[in-house]
């Protein structure tokens, strides 16, 4: 069996999370090709895997579309392949390598959420600007299956917080730009 890749994952994110998990200091410039080579060698020796927590799945009787919101990978799987991805059936080495290389599954011992949190913290240290996202409302009714807002209260921006928001922006370093979204 061979899964059909509809959109290949963001290899750089996969490799950076791997590097963080292995204790690499990302503030020191690294050769991406070398990190990528280390990542490829590492996933070849992975015995136990688990499905990525960032996967969103849409099932139909004949196929399952799996989209990974972190790695931006999408694949069309047959039901038998999907059972293997979920760990319900034995997965051969070749298919397991494909799942790992696309980010649809990760080593069983890998804490994706924690490594993503560390990666985001590291990225913020090196950002040359302040990025502020002002969400005027959370009352969206689109209900996209990939959306992070599942379970979020449906409220509007509290206008009494505007002064606090302005004060927060003013406290930012004066020599760096502020980007408002």
pLDDT digits (tens, 9 = 90+) for 107-137: 888 888 888 888 888 777 767 788 888 888 8
Q: Are 156 and 139 in contact (CB under 8 A)?
A: yes
| Cα gap 103→146, rounded to integer Å | 16
Structure tokens at 40: 């490829």
Q: Are 107 and 87 in contact (CB under 8 A)?
A: no
pLDDT digits (tens, 9 = 90+) for 1-40: 567 776 676 777 777 777 777 777 766 666 767 777 777 7
Query: CA triplet 74, 79, 81: central angle to 5 degrees?
Result: 65
CA distances from 112 to 26, 48, 90, 92, 128 (A): 17, 15, 23, 23, 26
């Amino acid at each position: 069996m061979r899964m059909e890749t509809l959109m290949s994952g963001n290899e750089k994110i996969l490799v950076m999370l791997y590097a963080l998990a292995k204790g690499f200091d990302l503030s020191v410039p690294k050769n991406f090709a070398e990190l990528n080579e280390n990542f490829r060698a590492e996933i070849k020796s992975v015995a136990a895997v688990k499905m990525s927590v960032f996967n969103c799945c849409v099932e139909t009787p004949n196929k399952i579309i799996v989209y990974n919101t972190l790695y931006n990978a999408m694949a069309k799987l047959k039901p038998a392949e999907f059972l293997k991805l979920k760990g319900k059936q034995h997965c051969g080495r070749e298919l397991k390598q494909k799942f790992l290389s696309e980010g649809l599954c990760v080593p069983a011992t890998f804490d994706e959420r924690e490594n993503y949190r560390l990666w985001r913290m590291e990225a913020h240290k090196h950002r040359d600007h302040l990025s502020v996202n002002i969400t005027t409302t959370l009352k969206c009714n689109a209900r996209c299956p990939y959306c992070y807002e599942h379970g979020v209260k449906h409220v509007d921006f509290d206008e009494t917080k505007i002064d606090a928001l302005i004060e927060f922006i003013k406290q930012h370093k004066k020599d760096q730009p502020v980007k408002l979204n």
